[in-house]
Structure 1
Amino acid sequence: MSSSKNILQVFEHHTLKVDEESTFKMVHFNALEKYGYKTKEKFFSVGNKRIKFNNYVGVIQVKNLTIEILPKADNNSEDKASKDKWHNALITMLKECKLIKLNTISNAKLKLKSASILDLYYDLFLSETETIFKHGLRKNYRPIEENLNKVKGKILFTNHIRKNAFHKERFFVEHKIFDADNTLNQILLKALLVLKTIAHNPNHNIRINKLLLNFEGVSEESITEKWFEKLTFDRNTERYRQAITLAKLIILRYSPDLKGGNENVLAIMFDMNMLYENYVYRKLKALQNDLDNPIVKVKEQNRTPFWETRGLRADIIVETEDKRLVIDTKWKVLKDNKPSDADLKQMFVYNLHYDTDLSILLYPKTTLESSDKKPFRGEKFKSLNCQVAFTDLFNDEGRLEKDLGKRIYNELIKEEIKTGANNVYSA
């Protein structure tokens, strides 16, 4: 565990204990305890004055404390250098998987080494909203009902009679006005108000207050998930998309202290298993445009019917001109180079169901080397092979390998295209 000012960094599956002399205090635990029960302990489990994180990584802000939960798939120490390495790796993976867009953030490379992940999301949302305002908030016509001293639009006679029985000089009418009080701007306003409550960066607070001045006349609404389900974008509103995506994260992941305290919690968390799978998929997908690698197609989450309404969903399917491989990513440190029975049975079914002769269980590399391809036992299944493999995510400089797809191709796929496999798997 390491901390800098009000930023606390821990690794996934780490247990954070209350220590009044340290950064994580009882007031933080109490807020996280409420949030944990509210979210059914999705991101962490609650113990006796302790929080145990699971396979979710990302960032949680509680009161004035920011907790970064970092991924870890090596046996190295948990010192500051290791935390910096995985902090930067997580940001890069989020960027590659389109979960954060760093190219719009000023001096992003400098921020990677110092800013918290939460600050990057805040900064990006504010930058996107500032850009929207620079080009003008979206305005449109909307109906409004008013009691006026002149006729404007059409008279609503039922309401007019009820309200103006003793005011013959007034008319209850419905007419249209042209303003910025619409769904998109209401969502941005709500996100800004949430940030105003929880942001502790002075620069962010200045930018938030400046932006709020531009939302005069936009009504504050209670935004729920249903609002985002109904949204559609066209050529006139496409410029809102990125800001709305970030606003959704901020609004829906925010849990206010309804008792009026200041222990609000905001969590932006990602399932590390899904993030690793998506990252590997994108790296392999990039090879489809590489003429040096004869990969025809890379598919992700290919769900096919299996039994009644149930289906099978392989993580990644790689197709060459005459072969098909299944790759199932596993974000965990494998003990003694042996996969679980459940994982092996799953890969056996994948081989049969997707008509492949090799399935690969792909783990992040620690200190282990790749295993040989080994067929499943049985005369009928000699052509069905499973390989336990490990890929090093980092280059020699300790940064994520840019050509990870090519590395996986060279280490696991290239030889398979040429030869195939015939060894026996021994459990």
Structure 2
Amino acid sequence: MPSASVTITAFEHQFLPYAAIKNWQESHAAALERLQAAHKGGSNWFTLERKGIRFCEYVGIIQLPGLAMEILPKADNPNQGNKAHVLLESELQNRWRNVLLGMLQQVLDLPLSVPSAANLATVPHRMLDVFLKAFIQQTEFVYQNGLVKHYHVAEGNRAALKGQLLFGQHLNHNLLHKERFYTRHQVYDRIHPLNALLRMALLRTADLARNAGLAARARTFLLHWPELAEVSVPEERPALTRKTQRYGPALDLALLILRAQSPSLQRGHNQALALLFDMNSLFEGYIESLLRRAATAAGCTVHAQQEKTFWATIKARPDIVVSVLPTDQDPTPVRNCILDVKWKVPKAGKPTADDMRQVYAYCHLWGATHGVLLYPWVSEEQQPRRGIYAPSEFAEAGTQITGQTLFAPVLQANLTLNPRLGLDVLSVMRTLQAPNK
């Protein structure tokens, strides 16, 4: 008996009882187990328990035959308050869905269209459709501007002698056809790896799209696309030249779709898909991106993922190092600040001892006088804390190191992403005067 269709919207770190999922069957759990086994690192996405699913820090989309799941970010406790997980299109879910899409748009530089509140209210919305629609639009742009061509070597029979005659193959194929020539020759056409990758992603899109209009649009477009053999999906985006630069956005989306596939889990024409992102890494990348954009205006430099030797072969790598530069208004000498980004809400607004020790070590290695733990702001109850670390014999004489928490307003009052977040954070960094001055 085929599994009933199930659609789930949940939040990261939420426990979702099977009893709360309409039409849930054991076959869905078995399919999720196969999905995790098929993907490297997939065992961290969620945990299937006896009475329900416990989600982890991964957010995004999972789609299987008969099962579609959206896992959304949420900065506070998803199990508190009302039963938001059963309200598939609730205001709360729409808000955090748009937060996720906005962060992905910023960090991955993808042409994703974040739906407006009006569209969300009038159109049934699924996050996967946003990716698929953006991919089709970008691929249409590439096609309208002409598919790239290149020279490549081909072998086969020709009516005229052109290129290198391959005697062995010629005798095998043309003993009775003396008017033909089996040659190796150069061809200039649209058989190009980039075109093949886009076609592969179009085929997947036609199968994955739940929106009938998107699926039909992809299938119609395939009728105009050249027939190309499949190629291996690269781990990194192929280098683009001046002639292929226009492929960038479409290729990025195509690789996201193709890498999220599990061909071993095919069921008919459907494919399993897991388009998931580690929310901790995504938030870190989002903050870094905003800081870099605001750095010049704030008179700072921003360095991410710098690495130094901590002990033997063990490396230390803070999320972000901000160097506050002197300006006419603030002639204080250059000072470094360590910024450690956390996508979580500390209990009672108090950081853990391990986090504070980690920041302390970073400050020593980078000669920083301030270490900041940056959390998302979610309520008025969150107040920054600040304290001076105990004197250290390893620091420069007379130098004190300050550690503090900072709560960043990710959302504005209208519940959209705060575009000034980067500048606001760097402004706080500038106000942190050297404590020994």
Classify the secondary structure of the residue corresponding to 1:58.
Answer: strand
Relative to structure 1, the CA distance from residue 15 to residue 144 in structure 2 (aligned partners, 3 Å threshold; closer, same or farther) is same
Tell me the residue number matched to 2:12. Answer: 12
Counterparts in 2 of 1:308-347, with a 5 A limit? 308-321=312-325, 322=333, 323-347=335-359
Tell me the residue number matched to 1:199. Answer: 209
1:219-258 per-residue CA deviation (whole Å, 9 max, x = no partner) reads 23153335x56x2211111111111111111111111355
Cα separation, 2, equivalents of 1:11 and 1:59: 12
Relative to structure 1, the CA distance from residue 74 to residue 261 in structure 2 (aligned partners, 3 Å threshold; closer, same or farther) is same
Superposition deviation, residue 372 in structure 1: 3.1
Matched, 1:245 2:252: yes
Tell me the residue number matched to 1:374. Answer: 387
Does structure 2 retain, via aligned residues, the 8 Å contact 1:325–1:357?
A: yes
| More moved, 190-199 vs 165-174 | 165-174
Superposition deviation, residue 208 in structure 1: 0.8
Give the partner amino acid of 1:374.
Answer: G
Give me the identity figure in percent. 30
1:162-207 per-residue CA deviation (whole Å, 9 max, x = no partner) reads 4444554442111223321211111111111111222121111221
1:332-362 per-residue CA deviation (whole Å, 9 max, x = no partner) reads 1211333223212211111100001110111
Relative to structure 1, the CA distance from residue 20 to residue 320 in structure 2 (aligned partners, 3 Å threshold; closer, same or farther) is closer
Tell me the residue number matched to 1:144. Answer: 154
Matched, 1:415 2:415: no
Give the partner amino acid of 1:375.
Answer: I
Gaps of 5+ in 1: 423-427
Classify the secondary structure of the residue corresponding to 2:348.
Answer: helix
Does structure 2 retain, via aligned residues, the 8 Å contact 1:190–1:223?
A: no
Cα separation, 2, equivalents of 1:395 and 1:273: 21
Cα separation, 1, equivalents of 2:423 and 2:261: 40
Tell me the residue number matched to 1:32. Answer: 32
Classify the secondary structure of the residue corresponding to 2:183.
Answer: strand
Classify the secondary structure of the residue corresponding to 2:59.
Answer: strand
Matched, 1:133 2:143: yes
Gaps of 5+ in 2: 85-89, 326-332
Q: How many residues are matched?
A: 408
Matched, 1:180 2:196: no
Relative to structure 1, the CA distance from residue 283 to residue 255 in structure 2 (aligned partners, 3 Å threshold; closer, same or farther) is same
Tell me the residue number matched to 1:269. Answer: 276
Matched, 1:84 2:94: yes
Scaled by the length of structure 2, the TM-score of the pair is 0.84
Matched, 1:213 2:223: yes
Alignment RMSD (CA, Å): 2.8
Tell me the residue number matched to 1:355. Answer: 367
Cα separation, 2, equivalents of 1:344 and 1:387: 9
Counterparts in 2 of 1:47-126, with a 5 A limit? 47-48=49-50, 50-75=52-77, 77=81, 79=84, 80-102=90-112, 111=119, 114=123, 115-126=125-136
| More moved, 94-103 vs 383-392 | 94-103
Counterparts in 2 of 1:394-413, with a 5 A limit? 394-410=411-427, 412-413=428-429
Superposition deviation, residue 402 in structure 1: 1.9
Give the partner amino acid of 2:29.
Answer: F
Classify the secondary structure of the residue corresponding to 1:102.
Answer: coil
Tell me the residue number matched to 1:236. Answer: 243
| More moved, 317-326 vs 386-395 | 386-395
Cα separation, 2, equivalents of 1:273 and 1:57: 10
Give the partner amino acid of 1:314.
Answer: P
1:296-351 per-residue CA deviation (whole Å, 9 max, x = no partner) reads 21111122333444422111111113211001011112113332232122111111
1:366-390 per-residue CA deviation (whole Å, 9 max, x = no partner) reads 3443333212224646602211222
Cα separation, 1, equivalents of 2:276 and 2:119: 20
Give the partner amino acid of 1:225.
Answer: P
| More moved, 86-95 vs 19-28 | 19-28
Give the partner amino acid of 2:405.
Answer: V
Does structure 1 retain, via aligned residues, the 8 Å contact 2:388–2:401?
A: yes
Superposition deviation, residue 400 in structure 1: 2.1
Scaled by the length of structure 1, the TM-score of the pair is 0.86
Relative to structure 1, the CA distance from residue 183 to residue 165 in structure 2 (aligned partners, 3 Å threshold; closer, same or farther) is same
